[in-house]
Structure 1
């Protein structure tokens, strides 16, 4: 248990450097720069972020454990298997990008537009950013993390929550330490006019995250859902623009009430129909396939059992469209010419287990290997002996060596 707690804490720290988390973490770095020289405000930022991370992590972990206790085989990142969650998260990220671009401001009253709110406003916004960071982080699985989560999912609830708490503390640790120790914060650049340029520049990683979420939604639910989320994005953007006009002009009285009514009506008109549209538009999608020379075979427990021990090695790629680490491994390792040639030369059966949508068999198989999250790569030797689990971050040499060993062929 102590090993799993330490692994979760280290995995949480590493998670800060994964590509899916960068857009949100950059928001907190900007917040620290705003409060440099004011230790109280910096501590408020750090405390809010820590609380948001811990509460959201424990809430997700509690829901995950409850679902598993009821017999539903779900794992880390389970909420991203829902098109509705993906759609709502995409609109939230879009709203954050528009805020960074200055279309509107968050937490400012109409009478104080342009001022920096302090105290409780800073704490709440930091807590919400921490919550968003955890939700966005779930597609990623850092080194040390998957094994710790896999161990947690087969433990009693108290032990499991302790491991997830360690993961949350590790994730929040770097930012919280900088917030609470002025000596570290003093090494950051001085605030200035350049920060306004940086703020707008950071909107583009958020827009990139929005584009990625829209792509994932299209993989999950098809073109109808894609059209719905793009139309909602236009309406939400227009709503934000109207709200920004009200803030800048400090509209009051009847004019503001009319504008506010229009804004709320537009926003509700975009968001309320989403659940029905996304579910109705759901259609089967093809499994994400690596461009290998070997034709991919759709994974199933039955197919694996049929093919094992018949003189061919089997390589199983447990992946999902929303798993960024999976996509990076596909591009940097599994799609390389060297790996393609190794698959052909060793006559390996290449299988794809697609978890973009919920698949109980895949989650059961991952639990069997002690893995709580994607990616997962398993190589079954040609002689039918015990399978081997590869690291979550691949290189071509790791894959090629594993294929050579599994097939009994030399390089």
Structure 2
């Protein structure tokens, strides 16, 4: 693969990443934000450039986060660490933090309390929402979109990233930046081309309902993240995280009451918030969690054996064909392929008829041996099928 082909693949992969399910909750928030900004521009007679500024801030957040991830990967690899795409989701406290964040966003969208994110409604006027520090909300939304995009590997993206991590730092950074540019392009186009923006539905009461409906993809994302967390730290520790989320709901509700003038509820929020943080992070911080992977069923599922390099070599030396599924519980694409293809009776029968041994390399938690094996195939993430 050449540098220019990798750049093109990264850009196309970034475009397709917008269609992947793992980023839908955040991108739906961005779409809602664009429609709110469009409404406020009309009401406050603000220039269209203000909307373009928010599109630029979102795009900058996306590109900056991709570049920061690339720099972190490059730096840690230079220090001898073995990491790949999605490495942050191999850390339980990151999963717990994302769960808490999406849960709070869902409560905010339902109106439990007001807290600005991107274009969320705040108590300030329209001009304040579209100017100044509100741009930081669009930038932060771009950062968050990339963080939650890690479970997905879009077509063209895997090969480009695999190429990037084997190249010098400037080339790797350029490929990651192009991936961000591809992901941000549709939103830049919406904000820079009034004719496209005009195709969005007219603002109205329905936007409040749409905002409330968007809370439920957030809660669905929480369910998925909690399932991933259970694979990493076990169901008992995950139950403590659930308790923390209940306390977070109490804190958010009390904070919302305080915002409406019932100041005495502020103390409930102040007490519940630290307890919520304890519940969410007590069993997910390094050294606090029990033995990892107690629930992970993927490697030991019917017909599948856990992968390791020595087992693979022994089978190949004996002349037995092998199929290896490199996967992770947090990889949405992996789970979809597993249910739609690998678990189909016709596929299993084809493997059985040919005497193929099925090996599963589970990358849910950090595993340097699997990371090295992915690198051997010039891949930087899952899924990979060999």
Normalising by structure 1, report the TM-score.
0.85
How do residues 132-281 of structure 1 correspond to structure 2 at under 5 angstroms? 132-249=144-261, 255=263, 259-272=265-278, 274-278=280-284, 279-281=287-289
> CA offset at residue 271 of structure 1?
1.5
Is 2:25–2:217's contact at 8 Å kept on the other side of the alignment?
yes
Against the structure 1 CA distance between its residues 179 and 371, is the aligned structure 2 distance closer, same or farther, given a 3 Å change threshold? same
| Matching residue of 2:11 | 9
**Mapped partners of 1:57, 1:243: distance in 2:** 34
| Matching residue of 1:393 | none
| Matching residue of 1:29 | 31
Equivalent position to 1:298, from 306, 313, 316: 306
Against the structure 1 CA distance between its residues 291 and 193, is the aligned structure 2 distance closer, same or farther, given a 3 Å change threshold? farther
> CA offset at residue 120 of structure 1?
2.2
| Matching residue of 1:54 | 63
Is 1:15–1:137's contact at 8 Å kept on the other side of the alignment?
yes
Is 2:16–2:183's contact at 8 Å kept on the other side of the alignment?
yes
**Mapped partners of 1:234, 1:345: distance in 2:** 50
Is 1:290–1:330's contact at 8 Å kept on the other side of the alignment?
no
Equivalent position to 1:322, from 319, 325, 330: 330
> CA offset at residue 119 of structure 1?
1.1
Against the structure 1 CA distance between its residues 222 and 167, is the aligned structure 2 distance closer, same or farther, given a 3 Å change threshold? same
| Matching residue of 1:18 | 20
Equivalent position to 1:106, from 115, 128, 137: 115
**Mapped partners of 2:290, 2:336: distance in 1:** 26
Give the gaps of 5 or more residues in structure 1: 379-411
Which 4+ residue blocks in structure 1 deviate beyond 3 angstroms? Answer: 112-116, 258-262, 272-276, 290-293
**Mapped partners of 2:109, 2:314: distance in 1:** 54
| Matching residue of 1:362 | 370
Normalising by structure 2, report the TM-score.
0.90
1:197-243 per-residue CA deviation (whole Å, 9 max, x = no partner) reads: 11111111111111100110011000232112101101111111111
| Matching residue of 1:95 | 104
CA RMSD of aligned residues (A): 2.0
**Mapped partners of 1:166, 1:355: distance in 2:** 26
Against the structure 1 CA distance between its residues 28 and 337, is the aligned structure 2 distance closer, same or farther, given a 3 Å change threshold? same
Is 2:110–2:211's contact at 8 Å kept on the other side of the alignment?
yes
Is 1:223–1:281's contact at 8 Å kept on the other side of the alignment?
no
